[in-house]
Amino acid sequence: MTTWTPAGRKRPAGGPARRFAAPAVLALCGLSSACGSAWAQGDAEAGEAVFIAANCQSCHTDYANDGALLAGGRALKTPFGTFYSPNITPDPKTGIGNWSDEDFRRALIHGRAPDGARYYPVFPYTSYSGMTDQDVADLKAYIFSLPPVEKANRPHDLKWPFSWRWVMAPWQWLFFHPERFAPDPERDDLVNRGAYLVDTLGHCGECHTPRNRFGVLKDDMHLAGQEEGPEGGIVPNITPDPETGIGNWSDNDITWLLITGFLPDGDNVQGGMGEVVEHSTSRLTDTDRQAIAAYLNSLPPIVHQVGPPRETGDTDTGGGGDEFDY
């Protein structure tokens, strides 16, 4: 039996021992609850898989202006104003080259900057907070193996009061309660892996789940789609409701979309989802794509029509009264 690991890969030999048989470190860490990463040694190669599944590059690379990988500056328009993603290359001056492992872990898991400031949830730490310490450590090792790029961050251009970063303190206090991902023993390994890929790393819900007026994802509408997505457009319901969601899709239809970007009707996805496919899901392993499909199809179906109903195949020929009847 293979055991499920959050990253879906074989642990390097000696991994578990290295992680758990370190009483001295544990003893020290006992003093500080924020010490969890001290025994997780990063492996850059494994980190690349995490990086792909978490799609860090889409937001942190300014593709529209041929920006360098992870050098930031990409504009992210939201109802609160425009955010410009920061440089997260290992450049010590303008990137995160001086960050400790703990700084990095705190950013992803707790949404806090090294100086304690709170991040806006447009950086989806709200999802990433479920990541395992090992994945965080591997991810950092990978990012720090990439070329540093010197490029100063551009300040966000936000509407008041969101321009006050401190409003994120009460927001986090009220709405953000980091919770590590825990596999559900009732579900099989593949579905658990899919849950980790969809809800934690892939942060699919950041687009596919509607939000309340505080910008908080509605738990009872998990992945049920929304009319006003992050880019203003429609984000479809991807729960397995046959009428309003993707209940009529086979697992094969889902994995095919994740590889090629083609929908079952032969159209292709574009916009945010086009990027997800290009930078992330098309580069996952087959098993991981199957895990995503298995998890999506295991969800409770939610009836929620987003945008116009899917066409049944009737074709509007236009014109006057001389339409074909077929």
Residue list 236-275, contact with other proteins (CB under 8 A)? 236, 250, 252, 256, 259-262, 264-268, 270-272, 274
Name the CA dihedral angle for 145, 151, 157, 162, rounded to a multiple of 10 degrees.
Answer: 40
Q: For tokens 């090294």, what's the residue?
A: 114
Q: Are 301 and 241 in contact (CB under 8 A)?
A: yes
Q: Please give the size of the binding site for ligand HEC, defined by CB under 6 A.
A: 48
Our CB check for ligand HEC shows the closer of 13 and 122 to be 122
Q: How far apart are CA 262 and CA 277, in angstroms?
A: 10
Q: Are 237 and 302 in contact (CB under 8 A)?
A: yes
Scanning 9-17, 26-34, 35-43, 269-277 for contacts with ligand HEC by CB under 6 A, the matching segment is: 269-277
Residue list 199-258, contact with ligand HEC (CB under 6 A)? 202-204, 206-208, 229-230, 233, 235-236, 238, 246, 254, 257
3-state secondary structure of 82: strand
CB of 246 to other proteins, least distance (A): 15
Our CB check for other proteins shows the closer of 160 and 324 to be 324
71 binds, among other proteins, ligand HEC, none (CB under 5 to 8 A by kind): none
CB of 123 to other proteins, least distance (A): 22
Verify binding: residue 141, ligand HEC, rule CB under 6 A. Answer: no
Q: How far apart are CA 140 and CA 138, in angstroms?
A: 5
Q: Report angle CA 219, 225, 231 to the nearest 5 degrees.
A: 110
Q: For tokens 């920006």, what's the residue?
A: 67
Verify binding: residue 2, other proteins, rule CB under 8 A. Answer: no
Both tokens of residue 143?
Answer: 């990012």
Q: Which residues bind other proteins (CB under 8 A)?
A: 231, 233-236, 250, 252, 256, 259-262, 264-268, 270-272, 274, 307, 315-319
